Each structure stands twice: as structure tokens, then as C-alpha cells.
Structure 1
């Protein structure tokens, strides 16, 4: 098979209209093809899947053949996924980027792998096929976006996603502006005699960026809040956070910066760090990217994470954390590393503003992967079907059925 023939074959492959012999020929071509040709083939296959109204069930024979395409080596010698293609892997096993590229990339360029995948065998190979009759589509649940409410010191609330660019309000010499990129910024022209507090809160399915009066920048994740003074008066700078937030703090050694949360407090000089303190998680986490912070008397170095138990307040420091995973939400991704289904679905629930219900036993699989937060909900949920984990959408409720 030549490159041109392989590219012509992708439509048949996507719709399930192929024979075992043709699959043999394709596998032989892919095994020997240069990396650039692999890029082109899987890109074409992804586009062919997207063009179908329904991609049908996953063909387990095709899945297994792609699984075996790269036999892999030990951890030190395993070949990385080609640049530009999704990468997925089983812990301490072979790379599975090929499997997921051919199937899950068609579901919004997801990279995901179940830790039990290699132990499952389909009862009977079923070729993917486009059904003759399509059932009524499930409701499309769109991802979240820039949504927040500003609560002023007098209790008045401003829905920020409805506000036009420009001045939102002036409070005691502090001009609050919605900037050109949609974020909120505070510009004090004079200092009030006593602190005046505002709060920015995001709903489920919301995120927002705020520039504080000292120039520090804060990104709020979904279902989070930030309470702060409209101008920092006195020798300290203190803010309060619930949920999750990423900080880039302006250095000012004479006025230390403190973030107070229900689960932990963080003392800062000038640094970049992330705080995750959702009440439905078992721990709060403060992860340092640059600079230094102090949590419960322990000074953290870059790439260290302070983990504080919500049960007993105990502190554990984890070195060498994955910075990309920590700030994936800020950079537009849902990302998880060896995470169980409940952990992943809590992220999903916050971003897509849905409720999660388990019908029967909670699945025990663990997943590693990344998906754009711009993907609609069905595209995210479909990836779990590769491990026989299924969902039913009922309005804004997601029922996990297996």
C-alpha cells in the first residue's frame, strides 16, 4: 500500500467498510511508514470520522491491531508519541498513542487510556458501521466560558459577562474596568481610609481573570470566588479564595501577599502558584511554579505542591509535580494523570455545569489524558466507551451506567 492509497482508504476505514485483508495491508503500511506519513494518515482519519453523522461502535480488531503497531520497550527506551499527535500510555507498559489517535482523536483530539485496557478482551469483534437509522441525538451540552458575578461592597451585583468593555463602576476613587480581553481590572486613583471589599465569583461552567489593584493577576476556575480590597491599604495584602485560582503576584517585599482559603493559607512574596481548595475534594493543594510560598510554616520551592487534608489538617509536600497538569485548566484543557473516574467527573461537572449520578457500582479504572475545554460534553464522555464505561445524559444530569 502506498501513502496515496492509505489516504484514500480512510473513508472506508472510518465507516467500517473494509475487509480483514485490507486491514492486514494497512497495518503493514503503517508499521513501515515514516513518521510524517503517520501524521498525515491519522489526520485524514480524524477528519473522515468527523464527517460521519455517527461513527458507530469501536472496531475492537482495528483497536487491537493499532495497539500492537508499536510493541514498545522498557520505560527508558520507549519511543515517544509523534509530535503533534495525541499521546497516551498505560503505566509501565507500551505507548498507546496510535489507538487513541485513530479513535479518540475523532472525539475532539482526546488522549486517554484506561489502566485496565490491556486486560479487557471484546466478546466478539464488531466492525464499525454507520447505522441505517439514527436515534434522536442527546442534548448538546456546551463547555463553559468567561462568566462571573462581581459583588460590590454594598451588596449590589454586576453580571460581568453582560457588561460591555470599559468602566463598570467607580468606588471611592477606584475605577473598575472591563478590559479589551474581557478581564476585570482595578485602577485606584486614591486610597480609601478603610478597606472596601469586592468579590468576583464564577458559577459552574464559568472562569474569569482579575487584575488586582497592585497589578497582581488572578485566574478563577469554575465554581470559585475571590474576595479582595479595591485598594490595598496598610502593610499587608490579603485576599480570600474558594475553589481554584492561579496567581501571578506582583513583588512588593514591604507588603507581603497572603491568600486565605478554607483549607490552607499561603504567604507570598512574589510568585506564580495555583491553589485548589474545592470543598468536594478531600484535600487542598497549593502548587508553586516560580518564586516561593509558605504553607503551614513550610517554605516551598518551585515544582513543589503542599497538600493539606480536609480531615485532619495534616500537611504533605510533594516534589517534582507536573506544572502542565497543574495549570491545564488555565491553559484551556482538562488534564488528568492516573486519575479515577470520580476525580475526573468532578472536573467535568464544574466546567460543564452538570450533576453526576452513579447507577450501580462506581467504575474503578484510572485514566491519563488531556482534552480541550472547548470540547462539548458528549465528545468528552465518548472517550470512556473504549473501556466500557457508559453514560446517559438526562438534561443536565450525567448518569454513569457502567
Structure 2
């Protein structure tokens, strides 16, 4: 009892948490919709959405109800048994995508780990033990496990941990010739984000995705779409691949899938899934009844015309208000991403200063993100109101003014 503290302060983080994060100086304690309150009762407008996780805002009543009801029924049974919420959510995913089979895990990294293992196993079982090459792209991000962080195209995250998994090649994004130069009969998979999240919110061109799909077919390689961040309504369709008309062999989902409750999924076809068998892969918590019950509710709300049709309208409003700020301060050179996965590229005088804008924004009670050091990222709730967007952007404008005036 002597170690317990009635009042938790931000300084405690620096004493007891592994120093791999640098969180803001305030501590959020309550959220409702797109508003958050800290320990002092100060209100913030949330344009970060838990890094595209809180797709329905904080404490959505339907999600709260689903969690409360399931919490009184069944919490956990492991993969030794199945459960109703997991089967219901899997059926929703199968019914609304290209997929026939679903594997549940807990995070985007785990879903991508499963996808990469499946791709290699499929190639080895169907072709030969040397068909293991994975092609990925610079500035990509696929998770923090050692395998996924090595597949990701940002060395700053993967260096410093010893020898990396072999047979992984990185080439420039949206460069089909670069893919042609490295793909061959030893390639088992090409993995990409239709919209790169952490890498600066670069969208794949239609020509690039079509070309990669054709190359994968030519060389019997699987095409993996990482839609951990850009999926589940974020860009205006249930999954972003549906806007391109290019169907992957494997798709990964997480973040918004649980509306804030940890859950992820890997989706694939019957033919590819058929190489797996009991014991070849697994997870203790994947398909947890609590997570899947919340996931079912989140899925039904997100996959509605009311929510999906409103995303481009909200994006347009964000850009109009950002451009109003830009006309006064000239800090943005372009707007990137799709839907409410929105990036604002900083102009030359402000290159490398994205974190400065984030920190100043919190002083004016608005929460946002960066995507690299020179892109501001907005991933708010998909159901954020027009009033909340306007009010949050008014606060952000004051933060921008403070930086520009004091430069």
C-alpha cells in the first residue's frame, strides 16, 4: 500500500514506464465522442482518434453497451474453444470482402506477422522451399515485431536489434519498374499499404496497384494489403482496396476494427488458407469474446451508408479550414491521403517541425498527429460533427499563429 498513489501525475510515467514513448504532458481521463478531458477538467478536441483507432469516437454508447453485455456473459475461452462473437464478426468480414477465411489476433503487427508467415508457408508448400522473398516498400510500416519491423521500410525502427530476418527487399513506393527489377520466381509475397500511414500518407496510384497485381499473378506471389490504418471506413469505403478494384490475396485489419478495443484480423481466400492446419500458427487472445462483441457493433455502424457517405464531406471541410489557415500563414504545400486519413505537408520553412505543431496544438486544446517529421496527420472519429471540426480547427489556427509569429 505504501507504493500506491491516490493522485497519478505525468512524472510517474518517466519513472515506471519503459522509455519508448514521449507522451504529452497532460493525462486524458475521460472521453465522449470527439472530446477528451484531462485530470484538471480541461477539454480537448480529438483529431488523432487514438491513431485512427477510435473510429466512432470515445465511449460510443453502442460499443459501451456491447462491452457491458458481453462482460456479463463470457470473457475468455482461448483457442481451445470457439465463441459466438468471434464467429459473428468473422461472418461479417467474409460477407463484405473478397475473403473466405479470417484469423483473429490482437494488433496490426500480429495480423501482419500472420499474413507474412502464411505467405511464406503457402509458397513453400505449393512451390519450393526457396520461394521466400518478400518485397516491401520504403517508408512503409507494418508493425513492431522483429519480422514485421524488418519488413517495414523504415530502418530507424528496425536497426539496432541484431541480424534481421533474411530475404526481404525494399523498393520505392509507386515505382512499378522498381518492383519489376526485383520480383522473380523466388518471391512469395508483395506487401503494401494502399495508403502509407506512418510513412507520410502517400496513396498508391491505380496504375501501380494494377501493375503489382499483374506481377504477383505472373510470378505466383501473393499480394498482401496492409489496411491496418487505412481500412475500416477510414478512406471512405469499408476497405481501401474496394476503391481501386484490385483484389489482394491477403488483407490485414486492426485499429478501427474494435473501435478502441484491441483486436486485429487477417483475411484470405479458401485456397490460400487451405495450407494451414491446427498448430501451425496461433494466439492466446485472438478472437476474444469481449473484443469480437465490440467489433461486431463497430463493424455494423462503420459499414453503413450514413457513416461511409459522410467521410468525404468531412474531409472536404477539413481541407477548406486548413486552406483558410494556409492562406494566412503559408505552411502547407499539399494535402495527402484519402478520406479521414488526411495529411498536410509542411512547406520548406517548416520541414522537420511537425512535432512542434503537435505540441503547440495541445496547448490550445486540440489533439493531432504527425506522419514523419514534415506531415501533420488528422485521423479523427469518422462520426465527428461539423461543429467539432470547426471548433478544433479554430484552436489549431491559434497554435499555428503562435509558431509562425514566434519563428
**Please, what TM-score do these two structures have when normalized by structure 2?**
0.24
Whose helix proportion is higher, 1 or 2? 2
**Please, what TM-score do these two structures have when normalized by structure 1?**
0.24
Which structure's CA Rg is the greater one?
1
